[in-house]
Chain A
Amino acid sequence: MPDVAGTHKSVAPIAQRLDAVESVLADRGLQPAEFVVEATRLVEERWVPENGARIVARAWTDPAFRARLLANGRAAAAELGFELPRHHRHLVFLEDTERVHNVICCTLCSCTAFTLIGLPPDWYKDFDYRARVVRESRTVLKEMGLDLPPEVEIRVWDTTADTRYVVLPLRPAGTEGWSEERLASLVTKDSMIGVARIAAPAA
């Protein structure tokens, strides 16, 4: 590893730096090893995109819920038992239509509604996405496989404060009469970030 600190010592491997920080926290009686287990369980089992998918599927099937969701995302998510961290005081669902496509990002770091769509994927935190999606939105979406018709207006949302945004994607054609549960199975993390539309199911 390069000597980024400008010292003559070589930089300690990342695992040893982690051990050092963990031992500082352990010396304060904070039980970091136990917390790693708890935090990882939250990430892998509780904060999963299936949460957001349930909200989206309910909005697709229940117009009154959809109206409440668009008016106050936090309260509507809470109706289905989904809570946000206290500091995410405001949740905005962004309604896609045939003429409007929404996409979220965080140019300054990595902010997302992680309790609803899961922790952000690696590419969302990469410099390429953060730098380019606000300025080259249509080009970036096309590169990622979403070639929007030219008449579709693109709305990019940069998560620069603690308000959180989630895209409410278009319900795909060919799903008339589907149950909420079956609809939810179509909804992906990418579609709630806004870099994909949900494909119609194969006939």
Chain B
Amino acid sequence: MDGIHDLGGRQGFGRIRHSPNAGPFHAEWEKRANALYGLAVRVGLLNMDEYRHAIERMAPRHYLSASYYERSLTGLATLLVEKGLVTRDELERLAGGAFPLASPSAPGRGNVVDAPRFRVGDRVLVRDEHVAGHVRMPSYIRGKRGVVVGESPPYPFPDAHAHGVAADDEPTYDVRFAAAELWPNGADDAFVHVAVFRSYLVPAP
């Protein structure tokens, strides 16, 4: 989905609030939030793709106003309700107030049939696709051309794995894009590398 989480290349943001050697946590409750989603993953209540997608489905206004660990908690709570471990009413009764959750999901999809294989050095084109459910193709590479510089072992296909759809694992390719290809006349000169699932790619014509 073209969600609010897909931030790469968005303009209007400000200076990075950089603090060297920042610790991972700023409050005790953040430690709990970090642990609870980890526990849910460990015991198999949910997988990482479901978790990421639940966060992506948060209402944009909520996503942008929530801290990182509030987004984490919202994603976890959304999945606990969707998977029937608790009702929203019960969750709100336990919390003593409203408990904003993420919006419902669109259906997922399986692998692209007959997706080609690539080798390092191959020139590739990212499919010009608009996927309704979970997808790990940042929109800034959609329809763009790059060169394969690496290949991973097969991973679960996120577009399926986030939705309980059966699919084959597939490799990702580290694809090198020139920043000028991604944002013509609108970026600092650099190469940007993205790990792209095989189903998202075709050979560059």
Give residues in A with beta carbon < 8 Å to B: 2-5, 7, 9-25, 28, 30, 32, 35-36, 38-40, 43-44, 87, 89-90, 92, 107-110, 118-123, 125-132, 134-140, 143-145, 153-163, 188-190, 195-196
Contact = CB atoms under 8 A, between A and B. Distances in A.
A137 B188 contact: yes
B191 A140 contact: no
Contact of A90 (B19, B38, B152): B152
A109 B52 contact: yes
Given A4-B59, A131-B9, A89 B155 contact: yes
B39 A30 contact: yes
Determine which residue in A4, A10, A119 has the highest number of CB atoms from chain B within 10 A of its CB, and name it. A4
B150 interface: yes
A24 B91 contact: yes
Contact of A32 (B24, B35, B52, B85): B35
B159 to A, nearest CB: 12
A203 B157 CA distance: 52
Contacts of A5: 98-101
B73 to A, nearest CB: 6
Nearest to A107: B8
Nearest to A11: B98
B131 to A, nearest CB: 13
8 contacts: A11-B98, A16-B97, A18-B29, A35-B36, A90-B152, A135-B8, A135-B182, A136-B187
B164 interface: no
Interface string B122-159: 00000000000000111010000000001011010010
B73 A17 contact: yes
A158 B39 CA distance: 26
Given A131-B8, A134-B140, A135-B183, A11 B100 contact: yes
Contacts of A35: 35-36, 38-39, 42
A161 B64 contact: no
Given A4-B62, A10-B98, A155 B190 contact: yes
Contact of B152 (A109, A134, A153, A163): A163
Interface string B11-39: 10111111111111110010111111011
A108 B192 contact: no
B99 A17 contact: yes
B141 to A, nearest CB: 9
A148 B61 CA distance: 36
Interface string B180-197: 001100111111111111
A168 to B, nearest CB: 15
Given A9-B92, A163-B174, A123 B17 contact: yes
